[in-house]
Chains A and B, each alone.
Chain A
Amino acid sequence: MSMEDYDFLFKIVLIGNAGVGKTCLVRRFTQGLFPPGQGATIGVDFMIKTVEINGEKVKLQIWDTAGQERFRSITQSYYRSANALILTYDITCEESFRCLPEWLREIEQYASNKVITVLVGNKIDLAERREVSQQRAEEFSEAQDMYYLETSAKESDNVEKLFLDLACRLISEARQNTLVNNVSSPLPGEGKSISYLTCCNFN
């Protein structure tokens, strides 16, 4: 596939505590695999998947980050250029849920203020070991103005939905932004308008 063979390019960064299943979500979506006994991610991993939404080719650049503390400075450097963040926790692990406010502080500090954040509760296949109720998570995400979804990378529940819905929202957001930019463009004629989208490449 040639480099320019897409209509939209978005960067999605997955974050969240170690062991909540970020890598498995990405693998499931990009390769259709659920590799058991996945080792901890080192630094950041990088995957690309191109999907078609309403006839438009959308290239998703997915950055899967390490959850462990010692990689934080590496992963933080990717926040600013992200169009979307997928903040993941493990529904069978209270601790991973309790850390969410800390992650939100990081997002506040490092990410662009236009970033779309999705909260994901993973591992719903282990429902019998659930520690965080859906209601609690929903209330939390509502309070933080985040979209919320529960997934299972193992059973492939909601994984496609997660990424495709996100791509749809990114497309409509990108459209709105170009519209706004064109209207308030300060330079008629000469020069092109300055795009405030950090990495979106239209056409």
Chain B
Amino acid sequence: MADLDSPQKLSGVPRPPDGVGGGSCSEISTELIRSLTDLQELEAVYERLCGEEKVVERELDALLEQQNTIESKMVTLHRMGPNLQLIEGDAKQLAGMITFTCNLAENVSSKVRQLDLAKNRLYQAIQRADDILDLKFCMDGVQTALRNEDYEQAAAHIHRYLCLDKSVIELSRQGKEGSMIDANLKLLQEAEQRLKAIVTEKFAVATKEGDLPQVERFFKIFPLLGLHEEGLSKFSEYLCKQVASKAEENLLLVLGTDMSDRRAAVIFADTLTLLFEGIARIVETHQPIVETYYGPGRLYTLIKYLQVECDRQVEKVVDKFIKQRDYRQQFRHVQSNLMRNSTSEKIEPRELDPILTEVTLMNARSELYLRFLRKRISSDFEVGDSMASEEVKQEHQKCLDKLLNNCLLSCTMQELIGLYITMEEYFMRETVNKAVALDTYEKGQLTSSMVDDVFYIVKKCIGRALSSSSIDCLCAMINLATTELESDFRDVLCHKLRMGFPATTLQDIQRGVTSAVSIMHSSLQQGKFDTKGIESTDEAKLSFLVTLNNVEVCSENISTLKKTLESDCTKLFSQGIGGEQAQAKFDSCLSDLAAVSGKFRDLLQEGLTELNSTAIKPQVQPWINTFLSVSHNIEEEEFSDYEANDPWVQQFILNLEQQMAEFKAGLSPVIYDSLTSLMTSLVAVELEKVVLKSTFNRLGGLQFDKELRSLIAYLTTVTTWTIRDKFARLSQMATILNLERVTEILDYWGANSGPLTWRLTPAEVRQVLALRIDFRSEDIKRLRL
């Protein structure tokens, strides 16, 4: 009912006046009823009104039924009234009690607080009394200890004094015994100064005498006197002197080393190693003392001092190295050699070999040493900074980075490696050139010597860069190797392929001429790579095939090289060399190298296409053309004669076989396969051309079908992949040429084609049909394809 009402309310239609109010509940208004004149309509409305009445009655009944339950609920509510009053009284009483208890508790706890305060004050008082007693005790103790030369004891007393709260001392002065404490303090301070002077002096003496136990003894006292910095600085001064004297000794030994000594070639790397090992040993031995007596986080300071001496010694060693090995001189020479059109005499790359190895070794040792320092300092900071804020930690990290990145050792090594890379590049380029120049081919081999040689060299150079442990150096060498292979070496092979595969003998004189011109042309351009010249066509042919094999092997070798390098470097990265970016840098450079493999593959394709079009096509074309001279318009007699004396296909197969045999012997299986694939495509295309130029009768068509089957059967034996697809058009042409009558084509066409997919267009089908001289052109025209 309400549902019916609501739209009226919403739309704001006023309710009808009273008297007709009953209608307000019904969706049928009185006006509507009055306006009705048709009996049928009236009956319908009446029916609906009756229905509504029934609904209203049902609802009224339901409401009346509820009356009882509502009344009983009212009764219970009345009964609850008095209970509620009782509860209210109880609640008020409870609240009163709680307030009371609360006050009581407040009272009690305030007394406890007062007690606590009193206790704390008492403790402080005791503490101060203790401190004052300590102060006295310290003062007496210091005097005695000093007299007994028990410096440790004296320092312990001073330490105790220094640890006392300064405000306590200040307060003590203001007390009754002020003057006495003042005097005591003065004495203590004097003792402190005296002790400092004594320790410093004794330490100096011990250092001078190299008396390690004494040095360590006083080293331990410094921190007790609050002289951490001074202690570390003085102690490292002592250690530095030891490092220096040892290093000088070693350097003298180097200068006296016999050139025939086993380690003579890496003597400077060895000297650096000794220096680093010495310092590492010092750190190792003295770290526990520093940690125990100076606390964690102080190792950085000690190493900072030591590194200064290390830098000084490294400088000396490297200076000697540069002088004795003529390092800069060699570099300048290489640099001028690397310039294009350089006229100066070339350095023999082999002469650079030992020095390159030594430099990488020197760098590897330095990296190892720096890594050792980093690890030690980091873990020491970690312990010291366990409670420190993030900023302090970062500050410490920054200090560490600065120390290790900016030390002279790092800079010197970076400089040496910078020069090394240029020299290694020269070494690689020159040795590769040499391998190309000395390229030899041994009978029975598919490739010539230079491929293996070049990859051996590239691998060696990258391997040496890797042995330097410097990721940047390694990546640079990978980049340079990529350049060398991708441009210089690929150019060599490219030029060899450009010389072309000479066409044989009589067949194509014109071709021979162009080829000779191109050979001359390229040898003029290229100069050095073409020293051998082309002495005979046979040699030229061989050279071309060998080059194709070489290109393929290059492509494979690059992929292998990439994999090898990847596995070689996993070990390096697992040691965390070169920071978090190292792996990403390396991967990127390596993927550039790997991409060169694809470029060699492209070159191989280019060469094969060239071979196919210059060597195979000129040969195959005439053989196929002889098809035209064999009549395919034949009678029964000729057909059986053909059976006995094959007119074309067997000879063609024989020729193909002979020609491909030459390639099969000279090319790797993979390349040979690609070549036969190209060759079969060529045969299919060319054969199609001549077939379209011939004419056939029924038996001629049958003959062609036989010929094609033999040819396909032969070609299937020489290729590893299916050739059916390439010959699909020809096979379909043979089918057409074999038909009894024109309309028979409809048995194979359109809906009847079955599994056969036609490769010929309807126009081509008509064209082929027209080759049959016994088919009437009207019939062909009439065909509905």
- List chain B residues, Cβ under 8 A from A40: 405
A111 to chain B, nearest CB (A): 11
Do A190 and B482 contact each other (CB < 8 Å), given the known contacts A39-B401, A72-B418, A199-B592?
no
A202 is an interface residue with CB less than 8 A from chain B:
no
A194:B599 contact, CB within 8 angstroms? yes
B480 is an interface residue with CB less than 8 A from chain A:
yes
**CA of A100 to CA of B425 in the docked complex: distance in angstroms?**
26
A71:B414 contact, CB within 8 angstroms? yes
- List chain B residues, Cβ under 8 A from A187: 605-606, 609
B431 is an interface residue with CB less than 8 A from chain A:
no
Q: Mark A10-39, 1 if CB is under 8 A from B, else 0.
A: 000000000000000000000000000001
**CA of A190 to CA of B599 in the docked complex: distance in angstroms?**
15
B472:A74 contact, CB within 8 angstroms? yes
A190:B678 contact, CB within 8 angstroms? yes
Compute the total of residue contacts between A and B using a CB distance below 8 Å: 78
A39:B402 contact, CB within 8 angstroms? yes
Chain A residues numbered 168-201 whose CB sits less than 8 Å from any CB in chain B = 186-187, 190-192, 194, 198-199
B402 to chain A: closest residue by CB: A39
- List chain A residues, Cβ under 8 A from B472: 42-44, 71, 74
Chain A residues numbered 44-94 whose CB sits less than 8 Å from any CB in chain B = 44-46, 48, 61, 69-74, 77-78, 80-81
B421:A74 contact, CB within 8 angstroms? yes
- List chain A residues, Cβ under 8 A from B470: 43
B609:A77 contact, CB within 8 angstroms? no
B71 to chain A, nearest CB (A): 75
B429 to chain A, nearest CB (A): 13
A77:B605 contact, CB within 8 angstroms? no
B418:A71 contact, CB within 8 angstroms? yes
Do A46 and B584 contact each other (CB < 8 Å), given the known contacts A74-B472, A77-B421, A81-B592?
yes
A42:B476 contact, CB within 8 angstroms? no
B206 to chain A, nearest CB (A): 39
B273 is an interface residue with CB less than 8 A from chain A:
no
- A contact face: mostly helix, strand, loop, or mixed: loop
Chain B residues numbered 467-496 whose CB sits less than 8 Å from any CB in chain A = 470-473, 475-477, 479-480, 482-483
- Which of A46, A70, A81, A198 has a CB less than 8 Å from the CB of B585? A46
A70:B418 contact, CB within 8 angstroms? yes
- List chain B residues, Cβ under 8 A from A186: 606
**CA of A25 to CA of B678 in the docked complex: distance in angstroms?**
53
B162 to chain A, nearest CB (A): 36
B606:A74 contact, CB within 8 angstroms? no
A46:B581 contact, CB within 8 angstroms? yes
A70:B414 contact, CB within 8 angstroms? yes
Which of A43, A61, A191 has most chain B Cβ within 10 Å? A43
Do A191 and B418 contact each other (CB < 8 Å), given the known contacts A39-B405, A46-B585, A81-B479?
no
**CA of A80 to CA of B480 in the docked complex: distance in angstroms?**
9
- B contact face: mostly helix, strand, loop, or mixed: helix
Do A45 and B581 contact each other (CB < 8 Å), given the known contacts A74-B473, A186-B606?
yes
B605:A73 contact, CB within 8 angstroms? no
- List chain B residues, Cβ under 8 A from A190: 605, 609, 678
- Which of A44, A61, A80, A192 has a CB less than 8 Å from the CB of B475? A44
**CA of A77 to CA of B478 in the docked complex: distance in angstroms?**
9
Which of A44, A46, A78, A194 has most chain B Cβ within 10 Å? A46
B418:A78 contact, CB within 8 angstroms? no
Chain A residues numbered 80-123 whose CB sits less than 8 Å from any CB in chain B = 80-81
- Which of A42, A48, A81 has a CB less than 8 Å from the CB of B405? A42
B588 is an interface residue with CB less than 8 A from chain A:
yes
- List chain A residues, Cβ under 8 A from B483: 77, 80
**CA of A40 to CA of B471 in the docked complex: distance in angstroms?**
17
B421:A73 contact, CB within 8 angstroms? yes
- List chain B residues, Cβ under 8 A from A73: 418-419, 421-422, 425, 476
- Which of B471, B588, B605 has a CB less than 8 Å from the CB of A191? B605
- List chain B residues, Cβ under 8 A from A46: 581, 584-585, 588
Q: Mark B392-405, 1 if CB is under 8 A from A, else 0.
A: 00000000011001
**CA of A160 to CA of B519 in the docked complex: distance in angstroms?**
53
- List chain A residues, Cβ under 8 A from B414: 42-43, 70-71
B411 is an interface residue with CB less than 8 A from chain A:
yes
Chain B residues numbered 368-411 whose CB sits less than 8 Å from any CB in chain A = 401-402, 405-406, 410-411
**CA of A192 to CA of B604 in the docked complex: distance in angstroms?**
11
Do A191 and B609 contact each other (CB < 8 Å), given the known contacts A61-B588, A81-B482, A199-B592?
yes
B654 is an interface residue with CB less than 8 A from chain A:
no
B438 is an interface residue with CB less than 8 A from chain A:
no
- List chain A residues, Cβ under 8 A from B602: 191-192, 194
- List chain B residues, Cβ under 8 A from A43: 414, 470-472
A81 to chain B: closest residue by CB: B592
B405:A77 contact, CB within 8 angstroms? no
A37 to chain B: closest residue by CB: B398
A42 to chain B: closest residue by CB: B405
B480:A77 contact, CB within 8 angstroms? yes
- Which of B401, B402, B415, B588 has a CB less than 8 Å from the CB of A70? B415
- List chain B residues, Cβ under 8 A from A81: 479, 482, 592
**CA of A46 to CA of B581 in the docked complex: distance in angstroms?**
7
Do A199 and B595 contact each other (CB < 8 Å), given the known contacts A61-B588, A187-B605, A187-B606?
yes
- List chain A residues, Cβ under 8 A from B402: 39
A188 to chain B: closest residue by CB: B609
B417 to chain A, nearest CB (A): 8
- List chain A residues, Cβ under 8 A from B581: 45-46
- List chain A residues, Cβ under 8 A from B678: 190
A84 to chain B, nearest CB (A): 16
- List chain B residues, Cβ under 8 A from A39: 401-402, 405-406
- List chain A residues, Cβ under 8 A from B419: 73
**CA of A69 to CA of B473 in the docked complex: distance in angstroms?**
15
A48 to chain B: closest residue by CB: B584
- List chain A residues, Cβ under 8 A from B421: 73-74, 77
B481 to chain A, nearest CB (A): 10
A77:B476 contact, CB within 8 angstroms? yes
B253 to chain A, nearest CB (A): 29
6 A-B residue pairs with CB within 8 Å: A44-B475, A73-B419, A73-B422, A77-B483, A191-B609, A194-B606
Q: Which 3 A-B pairs have the closest CB atoms?
A: A43-B472, A191-B605, A77-B479
Beyond A78-B479, A186-B606, A194-B602, 7 additional contacts (C-beta under 8 Å) are A46-B585, A69-B418, A77-B476, A77-B477, A80-B479, A80-B482, A187-B606
